[in-house]
Structure 1
Amino acid sequence: MFEFTGLNELTFKSRRSPVVGRQGMCASSQPLATAAGLEILRRGGNAVDAAIAMAAALNVTEPGSTGLGGDCFALVYESRSRSVVALNGSGRAPAALNLERLQREGLGEHLPPLHPYTITVPGACAGWCDLNERFGRLPLAILFEPAVRLAEEGFPVAPLTAYYWQRGAEKCLNLALNGKELTINGRAPRAGEIFRNPGLARTLKAIAENGKKVFYEGEIGRAIVAAVQQAGGCLNETDLATHYSTWENPISIEYRGMRIWECPPNGQGLAALLALNLLAGFDLASLPPLSADRLHIQIEAMRLAFADAFRTIADPAFTSIPLETLLSDAYADQRRKLIHPQRAADSVRHGYPLSTSDTVYLCAIDGEGNGCSFINSNYMGFGTGIVPHGWGFSLQNRGHNFSLDPTHPNALAPGKRPYHTIIPALATDPNGELFGVFGVMGGFMQPQGHLQVVSALLDDHLDPQAALDRPRFCIQADRSLADVALEDGIPPQVLQELQSRGHRVEQVGGLGRALFGRGQIILRDGDSGVLWGGSDPRADGCAMPLG
């Protein structure tokens, strides 16, 4: 078996060109998953079919990021109607879980991230099935064929995936109920080692044959409930049986002539749009891309956007969110005044609009111009690491994103969806035609990644690969809105100048670059139909054209 060294460096020493094609294109964080999407396009599937096939394949090849035990969101562009539709495939808190229960059990101040109480209903299966029912051309049995083949016959594990898999094995799989089922005798598969997952193959076959009902009301659902309750959680069969996805109107703003689309709350796409709306009032193209002048403005805009997002994003079924006001030009004008051109704000607070009223991202565009921007996640790596015995997937810990403050709009409550970090994005041109599908995965990095790649594409007119290659900043929002990481490649003098302006910044390199997310982009030329794709160098993946 080959042994490779140098993985711990994660330095970018080579150049990757964007890929181009006409008949269709797929992009994901794993080449084998991208190949699964292309296989489906060749068999007559559309962009949505390809996205579902990639999502299933990624559950096999990158289970430490995604799977049927997690949630999904999607934006679909239908070329015939020139319309954009959002699917919310996130799950809800168990009916028996509430703040009072946490208080009684001594968890009222802090819920540990791997606690079984963080398991919300897994929404991915219903999301895949609902997308297929509304937009798909091929049956799930065909869409799942590549994933089933990979799971049964085995696949060679990619290098970065092997590294993070081992971290997940040490952190949670070896400690969680049945977690070792996703290991090889307690360790992760090594880079290039073959890994088989017959349990997941059985799961996919059952869903293909019986639909989502087998997952939420059948033997898979019973195994999920048994595992959660054995681990000390309170999810029950009724919680699963009553789950449903929702079709929603996406939210959007105009930036440099293009319309940028995001899923509405409970997802954090709102944060990206708030920040872009602020940046629309600055001439960023006149500032060097990695200069302190430009980064300062972008960081301050993102800090303001996060302040609003953390205060307002919640399950809209439980609270009213003033989206129209938050995304208005008037509100952006008001908040933009808080950005000092030379000095970081000492503190950042949310505005008052009511006064005036670990993850995988993948995407596909088919030859007809339909597009699917899709994201699926367990949240923190393998989530809780708890595995329903024999079924080959782990259960998410998405509920950790609930607030335990009873006065907060995102406070934990039975049947409620939490603040969600995973967000797909999409752009249309002034004629309403698809301009591109894109996303950057990685917790609270995601809206920041959207901001930075959109700016690279529209302020600097970079191709998709160059936009993804560019070094990034990351406000470490889970720590403080004042803490900012700068990726290797941003000049040291820029870091020093940002520090002199009051920013608390640190340089991050090596495998720590995972902090800056992993993205995919496919753009479409409206005149020629030519597709341009890129895949993030911080992951193992690729973008590939059909032809």
Structure 2
Amino acid sequence: MRRAGRRPLRAPQRGVVAAGHPRTAAAAVEVLEAGGNAFDACLAAFLAACVAEPVLASLGGGGFLMARPQGKTPLLYDFFTQTPAHRRQPRELDFHPIVADFGTAQQEFHIGMGSMAVPGAVKGLFRVHRELGRLPMTDLVAPAVALAREGLRLNAFQSYIFDIVGIIFRSTPGALAVYGSRRDPARLVGHRELLRQPELADALEALAREGERLFYRGEMGRRLIRDSTEGGGHLVDADLRDYRVIKRRALRVDYRGSRLYTNPPPSSGGLLVAFALKLLEALPRGTLDFGTDAHLEGLVRVMALTNEARVRHHADRPTAHLDAASLLDPGCLRHYRERVLGHPAARRGTTHISVIDAGDNMAAMTVSNGEGCGYVLPGTGIMLNNMLGEEDLNPHGFHCWQPGTRMSSMMAPSLLLLPDGRHVALGSGGSNRIRSALLQVVMNLADSGMDLRGAVHAPRLHLEGERLSVEGGFAPDQVELLRGLAGQCEVWQGRNLFFGGAHSVLRDTGSGRLSGAGDPRRGGVARVA
């Protein structure tokens, strides 16, 4: 009998994960409870996301992992896509446009085998596992394999994003064979229908046995190159053979006593978040409480100046990536900060996983397949990316990329160390909205003092050119103020995946307690192991 007044013993926390699907998070929890660390859990979650979130995650794409082993300096693993070594003539390519309809906004993408960049996800998976993992790869693929064989019923969010990009997943017989409805093979699997992916299960098991070589130099790679050559793609043997994961020093930015580690160049998302934070430091700290006039005016002004700086620096360096030394130069910052203090002017598919374990290892991984190119590698269930067909990643026009170079990205998996001892792993999906989503979550935590859930759930803004997108959730008087801050103002009804999916986890270093917040805009969930 328990003695009166004694509380029951609380089971020790092994870790916390936030991700875009319950089964993605469950895979991480399973691995944590089996003795895996945060990096094992993050990789297992990514593999499960390839099954449960097929529009957003694929072994045919790429991504980034921000890793902070306990007591060490954060390090960025770059396994994003790379441009092919040689360009074919546009007339030889399988490359055509489609329109994704978000309801309130539309966005054009290009698909076909000519839109495939060199995939890095498989190499990234194995490199991180070799250097940071604890459990065998067979244990990490097991939850995803079981899910692919047993199948899962499509939830409302996954059904919704299938609707948005459905034209891609119906564009080839191979894609329709994987994602077509068993009730009506001419349409895609729908809400609450069972999606089984036995070929993907087989491919995952084969990769766990044989390693990355199977994909880059073995049977899978040979078939991919043959189909690319015959089907209007750029990829050749050397593209797969020469692909390398790159480890980079994280970009560090200090902001009002907090420290953010984020994705460095050649990717631009982290650098643009860092630039925006340094501009915000020009505003008095007490003026940035969420929802105040000063907060909304300052945020829109900083977003506009960040967009301007991005365009200007790309124009100055048309064949290069954004440069941190140039954009964060004190003189450059001073020029833009003076304008922040002036009068306000009137005027893709990605998913994220965050994990922290009880040993204070931190992992933030953002991955993307673009929207997928429509081509599924036969016998594997793996759809390849369409990164060469995304306008955001090709700002100088299609077919103008430099051969054999790592592509830039807005993806910015990040770690935030707050002065009160809270450590946060965060990131977001959402194409060019990633930088605005992360900026606002960081501000909510660092400036407004919100808890993690409040910081992730608070309504967001996004400024692109002259168009200000305002998410549902702002008060009528706030919306009226915002209408006067941009040339065009688009007010959305309710929350929407357009504004990103900032799945985040937190460890309080004082108490050791772990918590998480999945972003409901992208079906996010958080689980503690």
* TM-score (norm. length: structure 1): 0.85
Task: Give the one of 507, 510, 527 matched to 1:524.
Answer: 507
Task: Give the one of 510, 522, 528 matched to 1:539.
Answer: 522
Q: 1:213 to 1:540 in 2, by over 3 A?
A: same
Q: What residue is the counterpart of 1:492 in the other structure?
A: 476
- Residue 127 of structure 1 aligns to a residue whose secondary structure is helix
Q: What residue is the counterpart of 1:261 in the other structure?
A: 261
Render the CA deviation track for 1:304-323: whole Å, top value 9, x for unaligned.
Answer: 22333355579x9x847541
> Are 2:182 and 1:182 aligned?
no
Q: What residue is the counterpart of 1:456 in the other structure?
A: 444
- Residue 172 of structure 2 aligns to a residue whose secondary structure is coil
- Residue 390 of structure 1 aligns to a residue whose secondary structure is coil
Q: Is the 8 A contact 1:486 1:506 kept in 2?
A: yes
Q: 1:328 to 1:345 in 2, by over 3 A?
A: farther
Mapped partners of 2:439, 2:148: distance in 1: 36
Task: Give the one of 129, 141, 144 matched to 1:144.
Answer: 141
Q: What residue is the counterpart of 2:466 in the other structure?
A: 482
Q: Is the 8 A contact 1:486 1:507 kept in 2?
A: yes
Identity %: 27
Q: What residue is the counterpart of 2:165 in the other structure?
A: 168
Q: Is the 8 A contact 2:92 2:232 kept in 1?
A: no
* Superposed CA RMSD: 2.8
In the TM superposition, 1:46-445 aligns within 5 A as 46-80=37-71, 82-97=72-87, 101-102=89-90, 113-169=110-166, 171-176=167-172, 178-183=174-179, 184=181, 185-267=185-267, 268-310=269-311, 312=313, 319=320, 322-339=323-340, 341-344=342-345, 358-380=349-371, 383-400=372-389, 401-403=392-394, 405=396, 411-429=400-418, 435-445=423-433
Q: Is the 8 A contact 2:97 2:111 kept in 1?
A: no
Q: What residue is the counterpart of 2:491 in the other structure?
A: 507
Q: Is the 8 A contact 1:28 1:535 kept in 2?
A: yes
Report deviation, 1:531. 1.3
Q: Which 10-residue stretch deviates more, 529-538 or 182-191?
A: 182-191
Report deviation, 1:93. 1.4
- Residue 233 of structure 1 aligns to a residue whose secondary structure is coil
- Residue 337 of structure 1 aligns to a residue whose secondary structure is helix
Q: 1:273 to 1:221 in 2, by over 3 A?
A: same
- Residue 384 of structure 2 aligns to a residue whose secondary structure is coil
- Residue 521 of structure 2 aligns to a residue whose secondary structure is coil
Q: 1:502 to 1:450 in 2, by over 3 A?
A: closer
Report deviation, 1:402. 4.5
Q: 1:59 to 1:186 in 2, by over 3 A?
A: farther
Render the CA deviation track for 1:457-499: whole Å, top value 9, x for unaligned.
Answer: 11111111111110101123xxxx2111001111233232233
Q: What residue is the counterpart of 1:9 in the other structure?
A: none
Q: 1:287 to 1:270 in 2, by over 3 A?
A: closer
Question: Gapped runs of 5+ residues in structure 1?
Answer: 1-19, 347-357
Report deviation, 1:120. 0.4
Mapped partners of 1:186, 1:58: distance in 2: 25
- Residue 519 of structure 1 aligns to a residue whose secondary structure is coil
Mapped partners of 1:313, 1:360: distance in 2: 26
Aligned partner of 1:394: which letter?
M
Render the CA deviation track for 1:487-536: whole Å, top value 9, x for unaligned.
Answer: 1111233232233344421101257x121111111111111111121111
Report deviation, 1:423. 1.9
Q: 1:166 to 1:404 in 2, by over 3 A?
A: closer
Q: 1:104 to 1:539 in 2, by over 3 A?
A: closer
Q: Is the 8 A contact 1:253 1:327 kept in 2?
A: no
- Residue 64 of structure 1 aligns to a residue whose secondary structure is coil
- Residue 29 of structure 2 aligns to a residue whose secondary structure is helix
Q: 1:336 to 1:328 in 2, by over 3 A?
A: same
Mapped partners of 2:210, 2:144: distance in 1: 17
Render the CA deviation track for 1:192-244: whole Å, top value 9, x for unaligned.
Answer: 22211011111111111111110111111123223333431121122111111
Q: Is the 8 A contact 1:402 1:412 kept in 2?
A: no
Q: Is the 8 A contact 1:313 1:419 kept in 2?
A: no
Report deviation, 1:397. 1.1
Q: Is the 8 A contact 1:73 1:90 kept in 2?
A: yes
Question: Gapped runs of 5+ residues in structure 2?
Answer: 1-10, 99-107
